[in-house]
Amino acid sequence: MKKVFILIGICLAVWITVGNPFIKKESALPTAKESDPLYQSIVKNAHTYEIPPIDATIDRVWKAIPGYSGREVNIAASYKHMKDKGVFNEKNLVFTQKKPKVHLEDLPPAPIYKGNPNKPMVTFIINVAWGNEYLSEMLATLKRHNIKVSFFLEGNWVKKNPDLAKMIVSSGHEVGNHSYSHPDMKQLTAGKAREQMVKTNEIIEAATGVKCVWFAPPSGSFRDETIKVANELKMMTVMWTVDTVDWRKPSPAVLINRVMTKINNGSMVLMHPTEATAKSLDRLITQIKQKNLEIGTVSELMSEERVE
């Protein structure tokens, strides 16, 4: 008799756990939301609005190129956004970003000449080793347009001008490493290159509290060993896509034309604190924005975050 009760108990436990096989489970039935034609329309059309992510890669010409997130439709959020009117409207679709599988930090050490060509953003790389008299005007112009960019500071310059370095950082701009004494990095041993970078990092951090994550070699001169040393110091090496050649003192019209004929998604524009750049900056920013390109820091440009 005891065995019978045990058997009955086991059967009841299975019944409760698995459920009555003769009754259709409630979870298998469509909810009111799922049976709504609007919900079904969102599900049916979702794939047409989705964009696959792009992995970071090493390009034969442009070297390291960051990845770029894709997007996919958030079905539940999109339905919630449209259900009041009950009509499908692509403008009310809600998206979530889909990260790439390969990231910039997954790539072997390589220089970066541009951001992802699908990202409608550009950056200014402003190398500072001189030109103090033009910095205030350039910072005022950037503030007026409410944009933040990246200044690459020479260590020796920061040592002599800590207040100017602080002013750049307090204005919300990003700062990076531009070596200590502006040498030809291609001619330096790994040990000397490391010394230039470490000394500059220490001076910039002491003056501004910022740890550099980007390195810009003076005059764009480097060798593979330079890139590896920077990488060991947890810095990636950036170059440029478009050069203003502002040190040759071009007229504003020439400088602006030089940039605007070449600038595109992902461009990195090299400049310095010069009279030519100070006088061109306002119009240059305006024309870049008219091309529907956002202007951000190097970190923002290298980020996989989408710009819609």
Burial class (CB in 10 A: 0-12, 13-18, 19+), 166: middle
Q: Is 307 part of a structural domain of the chain?
A: no
pLDDT value at residue 29: 52
Q: How far is CA 164 from the centre of its chain?
A: 26
- The CATH number of residue 176's host domain is 3.20.20.370
- The count of domains in the chain is 2
- The region that residue 146 occupies, defined by phi over 0 for left and psi between -120 and 50 for alpha, beta otherwise, is left
Please state, in angstroms and rounded to a whole number, the distance separating the CA atoms of residues 251 and 247: 11
In sequence order, what are the beta bridge partners of 126? 151, 271
| 166 in the same domain as 58 | no
| 129 in the same domain as 51 | no
Q: Torsion over CA of 69, 70, 74 and 78, rounded to 10 degrees?
A: 110
| 175 in the same domain as 88 | no
**Residue range 195-227, pLDDT digits in tens:** 999 999 999 999 999 999 999 999 999 999 999
Please state, in angstroms and rounded to a whole number, the distance separating the CA atoms of residues 272 and 276: 9
Q: Is 169 part of a structural domain of the chain?
A: yes
Q: Is 10 part of a structural domain of the chain?
A: no
Mean pLDDT calculated for residue range 35-49: 92
| 71 in the same domain as 170 | no
**Residue range 261-308, pLDDT digits in tens:** 999 999 999 999 999 999 999 999 999 999 999 999 999 999 999 998
Q: CB neighbours of 146 closer than 8 A, spacing ≥ 6?
A: none
Q: Is 79 part of a structural domain of the chain?
A: yes
Q: Which of 106, 133, 148 is the last residue of a domain?
A: 106
Q: Is 112 part of a structural domain of the chain?
A: no
Burial class (CB in 10 A: 0-12, 13-18, 19+), 197: buried
Q: What is the DSSP string of 5-42?
A: HHHHHHHHHHHHHH--TTS--GGGSPPHHHHSHHHHHH
| 269 in the same domain as 232 | yes
Q: Which of 81, 106, 131 is the last residue of a domain?
A: 106
| Residue 35 or residue 261, greater confidence | 261
Mean pLDDT calculated for residue range 79-98: 93
| 259 in the same domain as 150 | yes
| 196 in the same domain as 92 | no
| 85 in the same domain as 151 | no
- Per-residue tokens: 199: 């000394």
Q: Is 171 part of a structural domain of the chain?
A: yes
In sequence order, what are the beta bridge partners of 64? 58
**Residue range 131-172, pLDDT digits in tens:** 999 999 999 999 999 999 999 999 999 999 999 999 999 999
C-alpha closest to that of 260 among 283, 294, 276: 283
Q: State the first-to-last Cα distance of the chain, in angstroms, to the nearest integer.
A: 72
Domain span at 182? 121-302
| 83 in the same domain as 43 | yes
Q: Is 142 part of a structural domain of the chain?
A: yes
Q: Is 5 part of a structural domain of the chain?
A: no
| 129 in the same domain as 96 | no
Q: What is the DSSP string of 178-210?
A: --SS---GGGS-HHHHHHHHHHHHHHHHHHH-P
C-alpha closest to that of 126 among 150, 94, 109: 150
Whole-structure pTM value: 0.87
| 244 in the same domain as 140 | yes
| 199 in the same domain as 141 | yes
Q: Which of 83, 106, 129 is the last residue of a domain?
A: 106
